[in-house]
Amino acid sequence: MARFIKSNKEFIGISPDSIRFRGEKKTDSTLIKLTRYNENSLSENTIGEIEDLTDLYKPGFTSWLNIDGLHDMDLMRQLPVNLDIEPVIISEVLNTHARPKVIEYDNCLYIGLKMLHYLGDGITIKTENIVFVVKEGVLITFQERTGDVFDPVRERLKNAKKRIRRLGADYLAFTLIDIIIDNYTYLISRIGQDIETLDEKLLRSANDDILHQINKFKSELIYLHKSILPGKEMIYHLIKMDSEYINEDSLVHYRELQSNINHAVDSLNNYKEILSSQLNIYHTQVSSRLNDVMKFLTVFSVIFIPLTFIAGIYGTNFVHIPELHYKLGYPVMLVAMAIIAVGMLVYFKRKRWI
Amino acid sequence: MARFIKSNKEFIGISPDSIRFRGEKKTDSTLIKLTRYNENSLSENTIGEIEDLTDLYKPGFTSWLNIDGLHDMDLMRQLPVNLDIEPVIISEVLNTHARPKVIEYDNCLYIGLKMLHYLGDGITIKTENIVFVVKEGVLITFQERTGDVFDPVRERLKNAKKRIRRLGADYLAFTLIDIIIDNYTYLISRIGQDIETLDEKLLRSANDDILHQINKFKSELIYLHKSILPGKEMIYHLIKMDSEYINEDSLVHYRELQSNINHAVDSLNNYKEILSSQLNIYHTQVSSRLNDVMKFLTVFSVIFIPLTFIAGIYGTNFVHIPELHYKLGYPVMLVAMAIIAVGMLVYFKRKRWI
Amino acid sequence: MARFIKSNKEFIGISPDSIRFRGEKKTDSTLIKLTRYNENSLSENTIGEIEDLTDLYKPGFTSWLNIDGLHDMDLMRQLPVNLDIEPVIISEVLNTHARPKVIEYDNCLYIGLKMLHYLGDGITIKTENIVFVVKEGVLITFQERTGDVFDPVRERLKNAKKRIRRLGADYLAFTLIDIIIDNYTYLISRIGQDIETLDEKLLRSANDDILHQINKFKSELIYLHKSILPGKEMIYHLIKMDSEYINEDSLVHYRELQSNINHAVDSLNNYKEILSSQLNIYHTQVSSRLNDVMKFLTVFSVIFIPLTFIAGIYGTNFVHIPELHYKLGYPVMLVAMAIIAVGMLVYFKRKRWI
Amino acid sequence: MARFIKSNKEFIGISPDSIRFRGEKKTDSTLIKLTRYNENSLSENTIGEIEDLTDLYKPGFTSWLNIDGLHDMDLMRQLPVNLDIEPVIISEVLNTHARPKVIEYDNCLYIGLKMLHYLGDGITIKTENIVFVVKEGVLITFQERTGDVFDPVRERLKNAKKRIRRLGADYLAFTLIDIIIDNYTYLISRIGQDIETLDEKLLRSANDDILHQINKFKSELIYLHKSILPGKEMIYHLIKMDSEYINEDSLVHYRELQSNINHAVDSLNNYKEILSSQLNIYHTQVSSRLNDVMKFLTVFSVIFIPLTFIAGIYGTNFVHIPELHYKLGYPVMLVAMAIIAVGMLVYFKRKRWI
Amino acid sequence: MARFIKSNKEFIGISPDSIRFRGEKKTDSTLIKLTRYNENSLSENTIGEIEDLTDLYKPGFTSWLNIDGLHDMDLMRQLPVNLDIEPVIISEVLNTHARPKVIEYDNCLYIGLKMLHYLGDGITIKTENIVFVVKEGVLITFQERTGDVFDPVRERLKNAKKRIRRLGADYLAFTLIDIIIDNYTYLISRIGQDIETLDEKLLRSANDDILHQINKFKSELIYLHKSILPGKEMIYHLIKMDSEYINEDSLVHYRELQSNINHAVDSLNNYKEILSSQLNIYHTQVSSRLNDVMKFLTVFSVIFIPLTFIAGIYGTNFVHIPELHYKLGYPVMLVAMAIIAVGMLVYFKRKRWI
Ligand SMILES: [Mg+2]
Ligand SMILES: [Mg+2]
Ligand SMILES: [Mg+2]
Ligand SMILES: [Mg+2]
Ligand SMILES: [Mg+2]
Ligand SMILES: [Mg+2]
Ligand SMILES: [Mg+2]
Ligand SMILES: [Mg+2]
Ligand SMILES: [Mg+2]
Ligand SMILES: [Mg+2]
Ligand SMILES: [Mg+2]
Ligand SMILES: [Mg+2]
Ligand SMILES: [Mg+2]
Ligand SMILES: [Mg+2]
Ligand SMILES: [Mg+2]
Ligand SMILES: [Mg+2]
Ligand SMILES: [Mg+2]
Ligand SMILES: [Mg+2]
Ligand SMILES: [Mg+2]
Ligand SMILES: [Mg+2]
Ligand SMILES: [Mg+2]
Ligand SMILES: [Mg+2]
Ligand SMILES: [Mg+2]
Ligand SMILES: [Mg+2]
Ligand SMILES: [Mg+2]
Ligand SMILES: [Mg+2]
Ligand SMILES: [Mg+2]
Ligand SMILES: [Mg+2]
Ligand SMILES: [Mg+2]
Ligand SMILES: [Mg+2]
Ligand SMILES: [Mg+2]
């Protein structure tokens, strides 16, 4: 399947509020968790039945509803009613291949983003679409599967003294987006480290393996670029739109996000430039080594050519070749050959051809 | 004929409201169909005579008039009167090579776009110019020939419960444009899939066929870019112009279109970058293989050069060459030759030339 | 003389209202023609004497004054008075190398543009600077020489029923600029057609002639770009400036111009990209063919090298070479040589070197 | 010293109003000249002593003070008082390596620009920083050394009928900047002419000299770009800032400047593109010629290889080689060799290898 | 560690007001210095204990608090209270890898920037993150370690007559940022000088050492670009935001900064372009030299090929070769060989192959 853009013929032309799952199913079960907190208390509940999901908004509290797994269409069709959001939003959530974007709806703010996970030492990037719906006192997050990068926030929430406990849903959304962007930075720094290591390797020996790695990194950077750049645009618009769902006080944090994602994109572009430099160095090294070999071999051949020619002359069967009958004919020829060979070597050395 | 820009000398300087067909005739008959619907009822009629085409607007209904085939000038000249639109719009419709654009006229909104059809497995893109004229309660669409990508909408219209039945002409226009853009995405994902497959093929063997495919894809992407990019601009202006013919409520859907077409253009650019990477890899592979062959052959020749030279020396006809008379002269020479050959092989191996 | 920018030392530092001709003289005589029309009547007069040129504006009529040839300084110095325009405008008209631009003066609107003529089948582009001065009820056009692309408009003017007869000077200016831009499109489509033809030619044989054509087209596109791009900027500013000399009703037509010139510039850029692709294909083809030749020749040489070496060995004059005395020595050597040759051929074939 | 950016460690961190000369001293003496004019009178005075420099502004007159040479710090420290300008402006004047820019101060407008002189036929560009300070009724210009491109203005000033005598300091500043920009255009057209001449030279023979010229031109264009581009920005800001020191009536002239400098920058970019095309053609020509030589030589060698091999066979000393004893053995071998050689020649010719 | 972007997994997801050091520890001790001045007096005190740090703002004075070393978390946690700034600012200060940016907080202005130090003759750039916090009458600067480029300002402060003594904290901040940017310029001019020197070296001999230097400079320029470009953005926003902490009078100085950093970035881009030109010249030189060698050697071989062939013919053992018995056979062959060799030399010379 195409990695950079995905499209399924059967979903072309469906209604924008049609509740149909358009991604790949990445989990078997749906996990719904409601975290509700204010300065004084914090409760975490797993919601078993969709019917239990009522009165999401509770005055004086911030309610965070996290839904992992989007394949249960019965549940999804029920959500607009229970969560008091437009069906078009759920429909959008189900299109996990959508481009990151921000849209302000009548009673909420929709933010879509790509979450990247980095697995193990090799380059294994897992992409997951994540949607934030910010309402008055409520944050709803939709994930394609269980497992995310939000554990540090969950830790902070447990500490009643933390600022996050006093601030609202928009601040919670910020902290989660912040982590996602910090993960971009981390991912790029990991790959960047490997790219910078190539510099020294290149100077030592430019082999196929390095070339292969350069091409691999290049293609990974294009993929990262594709995942991150629309996020930069999204945050730019998010700040500019001055949404009623983002507090004036939180805006300074969102501006911080902008700086961070700009930093990530800058670095991506820098590494692209560096890779392209490295590719150049690789080709220069390879061709320079080939040139050395070919020059050596050619010079080697050229030195034997006149010698073989001389031997050829004295190998002719002319009846009258006086030199053949000289007593010292043979050793003189050998010495002459040696002189010619040495002369040519000296000449080539001087010309810096060898 | 030029594929990227088409111009016919005979149409230069005609009046902007001149009713003359400036495209290629792609159908023989004209098919006019009127679909009229509201929440309660839906009627579909084929209009046989232009005279039947009166009172397009019917209060409480949305009327969609679709015209396939633009070559009948008698009909076209009649349309401005019957449809209550300016002749300049019909003139524009007849210029099927025009660039996608949006223009707000006094009593309607003009939207031009390119519809792409993908036929079969090979890369066969068919382009068709399509025009939307949005009026109060009325949508008129002009197509170059019968056959389009709108069937899913026609299906949805038949279902009285669907939202589309309650919403107006601007929403209908949105759904049709949405399908066109989803087809862009689908087309790109199809080509993109083929492009990504080239990666593995390249690693296995870089042959002429792959080169040919890369160049083919490259030229297709340029063509797609040319067809899609002005559409991106058009939608950007459509949203910015805040037309009276687009409802405030529909605007959120049009913004969705923008995100989708941006996604398509992003991916196009990504695939361009990937193709250019692949072209690089191809050239590196081809030249690396050539280098290997030439190096092998050169080393092979070089090994025989001193051996042949030695044979040449003992082939000279000097009377006094003592070695020739030694009993073991011949075998000693052969052994010496073997030693030289092996020595050179070892040397070249150590230098990593073979 | 430089083709892309022209400058004459003697005109540096002259006053912006200095009436001096700064182009190349392209005609010997000056031709002044006044066309005056409204819905009811049309008159065309050639103005012989500058004194006859009074009362250009006639209420209820649109007056189009066209001046071909700019070298008569006596006339030019008289024009500001007779035409009621500022001397600075005439000075600007006389600078035929100026960049296309639009300036709003106190009592008129100045529009400068490049008119391109395409002559014959070869690539022969003739550039001519043309200036439009739009006043209340009056259009003045300045051309470097007689002959233009405006005949279709002159035809339309003769027809009293045409819309152009009812509309004013700004609409007349639009129709003329429209033709100029349609000629850009036509020119690009002509060259584009030739460029697209190269694709097939390239696949058949990549010879010097094709390379020469690619370079020729490339340089023509740069020249076209230089002539057309400032026109795109000019029209953008013309629309944005909301001049009082352009009617609200005419603006929609000027926006059409923008779409058309954007289309032309897009296509220019596309063809640049295609040419650069073709150049790549050319180089790949040439080097691939060279590689094939060199590989064949090298393999051919390499096969003979061991054979010649064997012959060399049996050409040595050692007294004791047993093989030489065997009855079948010679044919055995020949057969051995054949086996070696065939073996190498098979090996190279398997390695796909030949 | 670096040509593109200059910095002296000792001036880092000095106060923005510190009166210290930070350029290269380009003249030994300071020349101060005051030109005062209105429609009726014109006076030119050389100011010998700084004390004479009082009451620069004289109602009803335009006063132009030109200062050549900036190294006299006593004078410079006195200027802020005598000219009624802030010290920070003089400090800025003394930083002759500054980037062109425009700043509006409390009682004047500061405009910095690079003046380019073209000397002789070779490419010899002399750069000089020039500063314009526009005040009410007063223009002060600062030059690094005596000698400028302003003589045409001085001529025009002598003529009482010229418009320049009626208009103010802002118009005078315009005429001087106009000349500077016209000189950019002239300079580029001179270099451009030389670049365009290379086209034909390249087709005749691609030698080292042409390569050297291309690289020389390329580096000159980068230098010109660096000098001119900030000027384009500067004029853009000058027009946009709507300074009180620039009359509404003069603005149209400044817009003219913008068009002219855009034209210059456009042409620079065009010539860069052309040079890069020429570099491509050069490399193609060189490699094509090398390919021809190598192919010829290789084919030549290859033809002799089987012939030499045959001679080698009949040079072996086998006792039983029947051919050697045939009467026609030798001529038959020669004929066979000729047939083989001709056959190969025909084959290579057919394959178009020679 | 990655040079272009740094990220530590353990800091992902910490609160924006979390006081944790996220840089590399670059000093062991913390040095706090308070400089307080007005026109009349100046005092400098080293603050030993954090408790001594109270009442930073003193009416009628400008207070500059400089803190070197950021690793002491006890101190850092105390700072928000003692300095009356939000904890989020200290948290930001501790993230020394952040991108340069400007943020306006409720009671202060935050400015982050990269300070570059140039050490010795080789290219040794040391980067240090520096933060300016501008408050009413107070400037706080945070440095990663002791040692900066601010000594010239400290000198100016000692002089009671200097303007800096009369102006406020915003002007002090300007002078410090000015020095940092002047250091950018200085650094670029140092590297630029070395780059320009390469031009001549390249013409003399294109060796590996030069290639290595070009690549080294290229990578340094990318690094400089990454450090400086966000600073350009930052200053652009700083001017546009019209902060209440920057006086109207100081703005003109900040605009000066913008011009200076633009100059630096322009030059960086110019040098990038020059390096890429030099890389091209290098490759052209290397390949041209290789071509010369290969052509010479090939021509040399080719001349001997027919000669050796002739010797081979007369080395055959045919019984009937009449030439062998001619008295002058041998010298005639030698002369014929000489004629052939000279003929070929002349031919190749004429073809300009040697
Ligand atoms: Mg993208
Ligand atoms: Mg994605
Ligand atoms: Mg953005
Ligand atoms: Mg950025
Ligand atoms: Mg970049
Ligand atoms: Mg396009
Ligand atoms: Mg099309
Ligand atoms: Mg756009
Ligand atoms: Mg999409
Ligand atoms: Mg985009
Ligand atoms: Mg991209
Ligand atoms: Mg141009
Ligand atoms: Mg022109
Ligand atoms: Mg524009
Ligand atoms: Mg068109
Ligand atoms: Mg466009
Ligand atoms: Mg394009
Ligand atoms: Mg300069
Ligand atoms: Mg520059
Ligand atoms: Mg600008
Ligand atoms: Mg000009
Ligand atoms: Mg421009
Ligand atoms: Mg250009
Ligand atoms: Mg960061
Ligand atoms: Mg950067
Ligand atoms: Mg840094
Ligand atoms: Mg900026
Ligand atoms: Mg500077
Ligand atoms: Mg700039
Ligand atoms: Mg720049
Ligand atoms: Mg560049």
pLDDT in tens, chain A (354 residues): 578 888 888 888 888 888 888 888 888 889 999 999 999 999 999 998 878 887 889 999 999 999 999 999 999 999 999 999 999 999 999 999 999 999 999 889 999 999 998 766 555 688 899 999 999 999 999 999 988 889 999 999 998 888 899 999 999 999 999 999 999 999 999 899 899 999 888 888 888 889 999 999 998 899 999 999 999 999 999 999 989 999 988 888 999 999 999 999 999 999 999 999 999 999 998 888 888 888 888 899 999 999 999 999 999 999 989 999 998 999 999 999 999 999 999 999 998 887
State pLDDT tens for residues B68-113: 999 999 999 999 999 999 999 999 999 999 999 999 998 899 999 9
- The chain E residue lying nearest D5, using CA atoms, is E189
What pLDDT is attached to residue C293? 87
* pLDDT above 80 (res D110): yes
> Which residues of chain C neighbour B329 with C-beta distances below 8 Å?
318-320
State pLDDT tens for residues A217-247: 998 899 999 999 999 999 999 999 989 999 9
Query: Average pLDDT, stretch B178-191?
Result: 92
Out of A186, A263, A273, the one facing E99 most closely (by C-beta) is A263
What pLDDT is attached to residue C225? 93
State pLDDT tens for residues C114-169: 999 876 655 568 889 999 999 999 999 999 998 888 999 999 999 988 889 999 99
Question: Does E314 sit within 8 Å of A192, measured CB to CB?
Answer: no
Q: Can you tell me the distance from the alpha carbon of E116 to that of E268, in angstroms, rounded to the nearest whole number?
A: 15
Q: What angle do CA C293, C295, C297 make, to 5 degrees?
A: 70
> Could you tell me how many CB contacts below 8 A there are between chain A and chain E?
161
What pLDDT is attached to residue D27? 84
Which of E93, E320, E16 minimizes the C-alpha distance to A252?
E16
Which of C146, C171, C148, C160 minimizes the C-alpha distance to C64?
C171
- Going by DSSP bridges, is the β-strand pair D31-37/D42-47 parallel, antiparallel, or unpaired? antiparallel
What pLDDT is attached to residue B297? 87
The number of beta carbons lying within 10 Å of the beta carbon of residue B274 is 24
Substitution target from C166, C204, C297, C317 for chain B, most B beta carbons within 10 A: C317
- How many Å lie between the centroid of ligand 5 and the Cα of residue E21? 30
Residues facing D45 on adjacent strands: D34
Q: Can you tell me the distance from the alpha carbon of D313 to that of D317, in angstroms, rounded to the nearest whole number?
A: 9
What pLDDT is attached to residue B334? 95
Identify the nearest ligand to the CA of E264 by its number.
Answer: 28
Angstroms from A13 CA to nearest CA on chain E: 40
Substitution target from B3, B6, B7, B131 for chain C, most C beta carbons within 10 A: B7
What pLDDT is attached to residue B2? 75
Q: Can you tell me the distance from the alpha carbon of B251 to that of D120, in angstroms, rounded to the nearest whole number?
A: 64
What pLDDT is attached to residue B207? 85
**By CB neighbour count within 10 A (0-12 exposed, 13-18 middle, 19+ buried), where does D199 fall?**
middle
* Alpha carbon separation from C220 to B226, C207, C228, C267 (Å, rounded): 21, 20, 12, 14
Q: Which chains have 3+ CB pairs within 8 A of E?
A: A, D
Q: Can you tell me the distance from the alpha carbon of D165 to that of A52, in angstroms, rounded to the nearest whole number?
A: 88
Whole-prediction pTM: 0.88
> Which fold, E291-350?
Methane Monooxygenase Hydroxylase; Chain G, domain 1 (1.20.58)
* pLDDT above 60 (res D100): yes
The domain E9-284 is classified under which CATH number: 3.30.460.20, 1.10.10.10, 2.60.120.20, 2.40.40.20?
3.30.460.20
Query: Average pLDDT, stretch C269-295?
Result: 91
Q: Which residue spans of chain A are classified as CATH 1.20.58.340?
A: 291-350
What pLDDT is attached to residue C49? 82
Q: What is the pLDDT along chain E (354 residues), one digit of tens a residue?
A: 578 888 888 888 888 888 888 888 888 889 999 999 999 999 999 998 878 887 889 999 999 999 999 999 999 999 999 999 999 999 999 999 999 999 999 889 999 999 998 766 555 688 899 999 999 999 999 999 988 889 999 999 998 888 899 999 999 999 999 999 999 999 999 899 899 999 888 888 888 889 999 999 998 899 999 999 999 999 999 999 989 999 988 888 999 999 999 999 999 999 999 999 999 999 998 888 888 888 888 899 999 999 999 999 999 999 989 999 999 999 999 999 999 999 999 999 998 887
Q: Position D354: which residue type?
A: I
Share of residues in chain A with pLDDT > 90 (%): 65
> Which residues of chain A neighbour E211 with C-beta distances below 8 Å?
284
- How many Å lie between the centroid of ligand 19 and the Cα of residue E267? 6
Query: Average pLDDT, stretch B136-159?
Result: 92
Q: Can you tell me the distance from the alpha carbon of A71 to that of D291, in angstroms, rounded to the nearest whole number?
A: 63
State pLDDT tens for residues B259-299: 999 999 999 999 999 999 999 999 998 888 888 888 888 89
State pLDDT tens for residues B188-210: 998 998 999 998 888 888 888 89
* Alpha carbon separation from C141 to C12, C68, E213 (Å, rounded): 26, 8, 59
Question: Does B260 sit within 8 Å of A5, measured CB to CB?
Answer: no
Question: Does E12 sit within 8 Å of A189, measured CB to CB?
Answer: no
Q: Which residue spans of chain C are classified as CATH 3.30.460.20?
A: 9-284
Residues E291 and D290 sit within 8 Å (Cβ to Cβ): yes
Structure tokens of D94? 């003394």
Find the distance separating the first CA and the last CA of chain C, reported in whole Å. 53
Residues A64 and A34 sit within 8 Å (Cβ to Cβ): yes
According to DSSP, residue A108 is labeled -
Find the distance separating the first CA and the last CA of chain E, reported in whole Å. 53
In this structure, is the dihedral angle defined by the CA atoms of residues C194, C197, C199 and C205, taken in order, positive or negative? negative
Identify the nearest ligand to the CA of A276 by its number.
Answer: 5
Which of C249, C58, C193, C39 minimizes the C-alpha distance to C138?
C58
Residues D217 and D194 sit within 8 Å (Cβ to Cβ): yes
pLDDT classification of C354: cutoffs 50, 70, 90: confident
How many CA atoms lie within 13 Å of C37's alpha carbon, on the beta-carbon side? 25
Helix (H) or strand (E) segment spanning residue B32: strand B31-37
What pLDDT is attached to residue B325? 92
> Which residues of chain A neighbour E105 with C-beta distances below 8 Å?
252
> Which residues of chain C neighbour D156 with C-beta distances below 8 Å?
13, 15
pLDDT classification of D1: cutoffs 50, 70, 90: low
Structure tokens of A182? 């910090």
State pLDDT tens for residues D230-255: 999 999 999 999 899 999 888 889 99
Find the distance separating the first CA and the last CA of chain A, reported in whole Å. 53
Angstroms from E164 CA to nearest CA on chain A: 32
pLDDT classification of D122: cutoffs 50, 70, 90: low
Question: Does A321 sit within 8 Å of B317, measured CB to CB?
Answer: yes
